[in-house]
Amino acid sequence: MQKTKEVIKACKERNIPIRIGVNAGSLEKKIESRYGATSRAMIESALYHIKLLEDNDFTNIKVSMKASDVNRTVEAYRGLRPKVEYPFHLGVTEAGTAFHATIKSAIGLGALILDGIGDTMRVSITGELEEEIRVAKAILKDSGAAKDGVNIISCPTCARLEADLVTAVAEIEKRTKHIKKSLNISVMGCVVNAIGEAKHADVAIAYGKGSGLVMKKGEVVARLDEKELVEYFLNEVEKLANEE
């Protein structure tokens, strides 16, 4: 306890926050023996450590509640939220390889963000740190928490496709990564749903057989051969991105 008090004193003198990191895999024996490795145990552990700091007149606190599965993680954060007002650091820990970690983090962190829970976050991936950042940004953007950047609307591959949509979308995604302005752009492979989606997009492509339309704010601005559509479309996107 003396060492804990020394840490609290040093953090208080330097105005450094303390993060209480509760991990379902390393709970206090007394708490785990009573509740098991459950979300309830995680909540009790967090409350125990919060009280410890508060009893020593320290409230510059952030809390993380991590488990290796989505359900316990989400239940722990949701259960603790009504009990304390401290900021939360989100994460599904030890989530595995890039594919599985992306799925787990998108479900767990996305659900919490949509609940209005969370202040910072970490995506845990067995792999490159850059991939963690890329996935985290995507979760923030696609959950609506972050409003900057391009949102690409594109249809799934089906028998109605009348163009090489996969190649077109990949090219568009690569060449719009630098854009920070919030834009909705639509790239659709046939006319069945394209016109409807284009009405709500800032810039859109509606492919037809060998040709297609470029639409801006729901209005047709060009009718072009398929091979010319992507370049024209990207120019229109850049124009919008550079507008004040």
Q: What Å distances lie between residue 221 and 181, 214, 215, CA to CA?
A: 21, 6, 5
Check pLDDT > 80 for residue 194: no
Task: Read off the pLDDT of residues 115-126 as tens digits, 9 standing for 90 and up.
Answer: 999 999 999 999
The average pLDDT across 8-34 equals: 95
CA dihedral 79, 85, 5, 29 (to 10 degrees): 0
Residue 109 has pLDDT above 80, yes or no: yes
Higher pLDDT, 1 or 90: 90
pLDDT in tens, 31-66: 999 999 999 999 999 999 999 999 999 999 999 999
Tokens of 54: 């508060």
Q: What is the pLDDT of residues 157-190, one digit of tens each?
A: 887 787 888 999 999 999 999 999 999 999 988 8
Write down the H helix ranges in the chain: 2-14, 29-35, 39-55, 70-80, 98-114, 129-142, 165-175, 191-198, 226-242
Confidence of residue 156 (pLDDT cuts 50, 70, 90): confident
* All domains in the chain, ordered by first residue: 2-142 (3.20.20.20), 150-242 (3.30.413.10)
The mean pLDDT value for 99-111 works out to 95
On the question of pLDDT at 223 being above 90, the answer is yes
pLDDT at 47: 97
The single-letter DSSP state of residue 83 is G
In this prediction, residue 30 carries a pLDDT of 95
Q: Write out the two tokens for 171.
A: 């090219």
